[in-house]
Structure 1
Amino acid sequence: MIRWAFELLDSQDRPLGALDGVTGGSAEIVAQNVLGGSGSLELDERGAAIDWMQHRVRATCIDGATSWPVGVYLFASPGEQHGAFTLSYNVGLLTKMNVPSEDTVEARYSLAVGTPIIPTVVALLTSTGETRIAVTESASTLTASLTWEAGTSKLTIINDLLQAAGYWSLWCDGSGMFRVEPYADPASRPVSFDFEHGERSLHMPDWDREQDHSSVPNRVIAVGQGDDKTAPLVGIATNEDPNSPYSFQARGRWITLTIEGVEAESQSIIDQFATRKLRDAMSPVSRLTVTHALMPLDPNALVAFTPEDGQRRLATVQRMSMQFAFDSDISAEWRQVL
């Protein structure tokens, strides 16, 4: 049987002890949201000295002898419910992504050509007070100078830089660790779990598949940053697969998505960006909604899904919603990999 444990942390994620009195709540993990999701917590007053402005909470799922952290959260302002002899709270939970999102540069922030990208990202993140960072190093440097106006969030700058290096946007895993790592095409990701129909199936038999054919482009043109002396890089990705119903061959015409102002440090990266956006633009083509048992899956993880029809599908995890309850399942949205 599933149970949950909650641990109070200080502002540096250091444990302060168990958080007793939790009676309910929920969490939602969203891959395509820059903040990564949100949550809520219901708890009775048990005398814990909670500093709502600085303390954090780690939610851990326990399934028998196996346990894994689901998220580390900041507290939003709590609502109080006063009874005749009791006091309870209903408090929103914010992901740690809110830290760099709510911290901004105080003056115009400029970076010159040749600036190392990943060390700059790490410096920006540590300037917010966060130090738990897992980094995949890279020698990528800026090929054009970049400037952001005063008041721009550090998360926006970080993600612009990571895009230029061909990295994922900044994200935070269940343990509260910030992750800075190169983007991986779904085809090159390992399968995190194989959901198969059968007696030991871990997913519900009912599931939905949504398709939207008309909005799918078959060409993406990504235009980079240029200046008076240098023409912008241009990346083009096309769907000319004769077996695809959305290709140029199938439709007989181009349906183009143009993206301007792309930060990219090389032709290969802007080409990768265009290819990625072409694939991402196909996400409405096949979105799966599935309910399955709680398990440690990261956003954007690749899963295999073989329901009762016997057809094996690959998909990436886009959204996971769950309740902090002993009988909770995950309501998931997946993007099928075509």
Structure 2
Amino acid sequence: MSLTGHRVESVRVERLNRAEESLGDLDGISGGSLTWEASADLPAGGNLQLVDIGQTINYSSDRVRIWWSVVGVAEWPLGVYVLAAPTEAHTDAEVTRAIALIDKLTVIREDVITETLQIAKDANIVAAAVAQLRATGEARVSATDSSKTLTNAMTWDPGTSRLQVVNDLLAAAGYAALWTDRNGMFRVEPFVEPAQRPVVWDFTEGETSIHSPNWEYELSLWEASNKVVMTSQANDAGTVFLASVVDANPLSPTSTVSMGRTLNPIVVENVEASSQADLESQALRRLMETSNVAGKVRVSHAPVPVWFNDAVTFASGGRQMRAAVSRMSLDLRPGALVSAEWRETP
């Protein structure tokens, strides 16, 4: 896929029903924008500007998939979104609508349990999480199976969000929090350290560069943590697991090696974990989340098929690094650039 040369771009919006079957393209789109924030509870969102030409839209159940196209080269989706009722603006010439686009995770978050929920000891953790996800009526789920089971029963009170239930279970299995990919598929997958994720794009300065030569690098040492200690709930045998992870990478500016001391240690108790390895995985994930704030790059680049949390490499202005995508925003107009923020990873 060559996306480094001259571009002719276009944007289209595909209308979907609740089952995410295509209802055709939505005409009359005059603009809009999208934003993705990896650390947010609801990472994706945005808006569409639409000129009313008699389109039929069911705001209660329809969804949209946004597509970005480089004509003659490639087309890729920018996510599937739930619609909010629009704000209408009337003039003598036309009626326009501003439609809010909402992350699909909202459907899971707003489904709350109405009675005490308990998942029994020895239940398969991932299967239980997927069952809770499907209980909301959502069917498009891609899950990596696991044989891990609960060491203790887990209980949630009435009023708890179904998303909280799912994420609590996934954390106990050493999985990443529930997320949706660019095609709108719910993803249930083991957590992978940023340094172990495959690189999806190489941003290198030069004749084929697609990023702006103007960019910023921020080093926020004092916001980071370089040690996490977690203890688990006791299992039926009375065993309590203990995990202590430390950033000792000499290439990390906030590691114990670089700083010469412990920085902002994090202690978490009474964590549900199915094994010592699962607790260590949770502690490592927490460490990666808190240590990677040390280096941030803010840069603009041409749109490419990169999603939040993806790994990228960057070489520009004498600086070379590997990073994880933490934030992106994009105006839905041909020629627009992505405004991105990346977290540097060792």
Normalised TM-score (structure 1): 0.95
Residues 1:24 and 1:233: Cα distance change in structure 2 (over 3 Å): same
Please name the residue that 2:124 is paired with.
116
Counterpart of 1:35 in structure 2 is 42
| Mapped pair 1:210 → 2:222 | no
1:126 Cα deviation after fit: 1.1
Task: Determine if contact 1:143/1:265 at 8 Å carries over to the other structure.
Answer: yes
Could you tell me how far apart the structure 1 residues matched to 2:45 and 2:284 are? 30
Match of 1:178 among 169, 186, 190: 186
Correspondence 1:230 to 2:213? no
Deviation string 1:116-136 (CA, Å, 9 cap, x unpaired) is 111111111111111011111
1:193-227 Cα offsets, whole Å, 9 max, x none, are 11110011010001111112223333210122237
Task: Look up the match of 2:328.
Answer: 320
> What displacement does 1:234 show?
1.8
| 2:148 counterpart (140, 143, 162) | 140
Other-structure match for 1:199: 207
- Per-residue CA deviation, residues 79-99 of structure 1 (Å, 9 max, x unaligned), is 000112421101111011111
Shift of 1:249: 5.0
How far is 1:241 from its partner? 4.6
- Of residues 287-296 and 81-90 in structure 1, the stretch that sits farther from structure 2 once superposed is 81-90
Indicate how the Cα distance of structure 1 residues 59 and 243 shifts in structure 2: closer, same or farther if over 3 A, else same: closer
- Structure 1 position 2 matched with structure 2 position 6: no
Q: Is the 8 A contact 1:245 1:251 kept in 2?
A: yes
Q: Secondary structure at the match of 2:47?
A: strand
Question: In the alignment, residue 24 of structure 1 is paired with which amino acid?
Answer: G
Q: Deviations over 1:29-50 (max 9, x none)?
A: 1211121221101001121111
8 Å CA contact 1:36–1:172 kept in 2: the answer is: no
**C-alpha distance in 2 between matches for 1:330 and 1:135:** 30
Partner Cα distance (1:209, 1:132) in 2: 38
Verify the 8 A CA contact 1:218 1:254 in the aligned structure 2.
Answer: yes
2:54 counterpart of 1:44 = no
**Match 2:63 to one of 56, 67, 87:** 56
Paired residue total = 337
Map 1:1-338 → 2, pairs under 5 A: 1-65=8-72, 66-226=74-234, 230-241=238-249, 245-248=253-256, 251-255=259-263, 256-309=265-318, 311-338=319-346
CA distance in 2, matches of 1:266, 1:228: 13
- Structure 2 residue runs without a partner (length 5+): 1-7
Aligned-pair RMSD on alpha carbons? Answer: 1.7
User: Under a length normalisation based on structure 2, what TM-score does the superposition of the two structures give?
Assistant: 0.93
State the identity as a percent: 36
* Structure-2 separation of matches of 1:96 and 1:216: 31
Answer whether contact 1:24 1:324 (CA < 8 A) is retained: yes
CA change 1:145–1:18 in 2 (3 A) is: same
Conserved in 2, the CA contact under 8 Å of 1:210 and 1:284? no
The question of whether the paired residues in 2 share the 8 Å contact of 1:103 and 1:128 is answered with yes
Change (3 A) 1:67 1:248: closer
* Inter-CA distance 240–326: structure 2 relative to 1 (3 Å threshold): closer
Identify if the C-alpha distance between structure 1 residues 140 and 55 changes in structure 2 by more than 3 Å, giving closer, same or farther: same
Question: 1:240: how far off?
Answer: 3.9
2:118–2:154: 8 Å Cα contact kept in structure 1? Answer: yes
- Runs (4+) off by over 6 Å: none
> CA 1:132–1:86 in 2, change beyond 3 Å: closer, same or farther?
same
